[in-house]
Amino acid sequence: MTPEVAEQRRGIVALARDFAAREIAPHAAEWDRARAMPREVLAKLAELGFFGMRIPEQHGGLGLDALTYLMVLEELAAADASVSITLGVHNSLGCGMLCRHGSALQKTQWLPRMASGKIVGAFALSEPDAGSDPASLRAEARRAGEGWVLTGTKSWVTSGDLAGLLVVMARTDTPEARRGGRGISAFLVPGDAPGVEHGKAEDKMGLRASRTTGFVMHDVRVGHEALLGEEGKGLAYALGVLDQGRLGVAAQAVGIARAALEWAVKYSAERQQFGRPIKEFQGIQFKLADMATRVAAARALLHETAQQELAGGRRAVQASMTKLFASETAMWVTTQAVQVFGGYGYMRDYPVERLFRDAKVTEIYEGTSEIQRIVIARGLFG
């Protein structure tokens, strides 16, 4: 790494930390209760260039390397995981699909507006009956004249109804000749395309300030240029960007865990029982020591993975290990943090209760922990 890149990384991460401390962390509890974050905060993040972190500079982005991007996500997540997932899905999955597989024309058409935050990107793979097994998805795209007509239902789309661009995976094989995962293609569908009907915002356990909505496609007509890359490769493309997305979730998990650790350390110095601060009890010290060790280990694995140049199956295995370890660390560390806070940890008045709720989803989305273990085990057996 050149000194210029190291300097750029330090600067951007410090900018993210400072912005998160001033503009996000003080409001996270209020946004959680309101089940929304204000548009203005997204606009400010856009001004900082954070909607185009991985988009090349020629298309208006910052063109950051993977590690710097993930370090920014950790900073945002430590303040509010809802903010980090909104940017994570936009950057890793929405922009990621276009950067990797878009034609020159598609990139020119979409990326500058995505980099500037004018257009939020969403990634629509999951369906009511297809989550861990996306090859079984049922949404369809049929050729019609010069373009395509899409039908079907997508569920739990992060930023679904905020999105100006939905990257939609749909079947292009026929019922008579099903091709499993190879019968799925990826399409670029404007969020306001006629026939797209967005559902209600989900009422979630955690990440309550982030928007999660499904949508139904009623004969949505798009042009031939809406097909992303090659027909039949949509699921392979989606699983490929999920390797990057899973590192984003791992960075989010590290941020949540770090915040829980910091709050627990602070509280243990303030809370008095038996005539002294609880940090003086070895039982509490050991808990904090284990929390700190696991946060450091998860971050180290994430940073190592981000800097490896891996391809194909090895990249997928490494991404799965990283997401698995970081998300289970976040769940464990936040559980310990609630314990350090005692009864107050169970109350909404203290931040560890929100961090505990926010941590849980990192073990579920972008592939559950069971699915990560399947990918890792497959790697072991070749």
Ligand X SMILES: Cc1cc2nc3c(=O)[nH]c(=O)nc-3n(C[C@H](O)[C@H](O)[C@H](O)COP(=O)(O)OP(=O)(O)OC[C@H]3O[C@@H](n4cnc5c(N)ncnc54)[C@H](O)[C@@H]3O)c2cc1C
Confirm or reject binding of residue 121 to ligand X (CB under 6 A): no
Least distance from ligand X to the Cβ atom of residue 159, Å? 7
Catalytic residue among 176, 280, 366, 370: 366
Residue with tokens 């709050």: 263
Q: Distance between CA 177 and CA 232 in Å, rounded?
A: 13
Amino acid symbol at 98:
L
**Which of the stretches 14-22, 62-70, 216-224, 361-369 binds ligand X when contact is defined by CB under 6 A?**
361-369
Confirm or reject binding of residue 123 to ligand X (CB under 6 A): yes
Closer to ligand X by Cβ: residue 136 or 335 = 136
**Of the candidate residues 156, 215, 325, 356, the single one contacting ligand X (CB under 6 A):** 156
Q: Distance between CA 179 and CA 170 in Å, rounded?
A: 12
Q: Is 366 a catalytic residue?
A: yes
Confirm or reject binding of residue 126 to ligand X (CB under 6 A): yes
Closer to ligand X by Cβ: residue 187 or 267 = 187
Question: Tokens for 294?
Answer: 């696991």
Confirm or reject binding of residue 243 to ligand X (CB under 6 A): no
Instruction: Please say whether the beta carbons of 148 and 221 come within 8 A.
Output: yes
Q: Distance between CA 325 and CA 138 in Å, rounded?
A: 32
**Which of the stretches 2-10, 106-114, 178-186, 370-378 binds ligand X when contact is defined by CB under 6 A?**
370-378
Confirm or reject binding of residue 215 to ligand X (CB under 6 A): no
Confirm or reject binding of residue 263 to ligand X (CB under 6 A): no
Confirm or reject binding of residue 158 to ligand X (CB under 6 A): yes
**Of the candidate residues 188, 264, 278, 361, the single one contacting ligand X (CB under 6 A):** 361
Confirm or reject binding of residue 132 to ligand X (CB under 6 A): yes
How far are the Cα atoms of 85, 176, 190 from residue 25, in angstroms, in the given order? 15, 53, 32
Residue 227 sits at the vertex; the CA angle it makes with 222 and 230, to the nearest 5 degrees, is 160
Q: Distance between CA 221 and CA 194 in Å, rounded?
A: 8
Q: Which residues contact 280 (CB under 8 A, 6 or more apart)?
A: none
Number of residues that bind ligand X (CB under 6 A): 22
**Which of the stretches 119-127, 183-191, 267-275, 335-343 binds ligand X when contact is defined by CB under 6 A?**
119-127
Near ligand X in 193-212, by CB under 6 A: 204, 207, 212
Residue with tokens 């391809």: 311
Q: Distance between CA 198 and CA 210 in Å, rounded?
A: 16
Closer to ligand X by Cβ: residue 126 or 268 = 126
Least distance from ligand X to the Cβ atom of residue 58, Å? 27
The C-alpha R_g of the chain, in whole angstroms, comes to 21
Instruction: Please say whether the beta carbons of 214 and 366 come within 8 A.
Output: no
Q: Strands 147-158 and 140-144, how do they pair?
A: antiparallel
- Residue whose Cβ sits closest to ligand X: 131
Residues near ligand X (CB under 6 A) are 89, 123-126, 131-132, 156-158, 204, 207, 212, 361, 364-368, 370-371, 374
Active site residues: 366
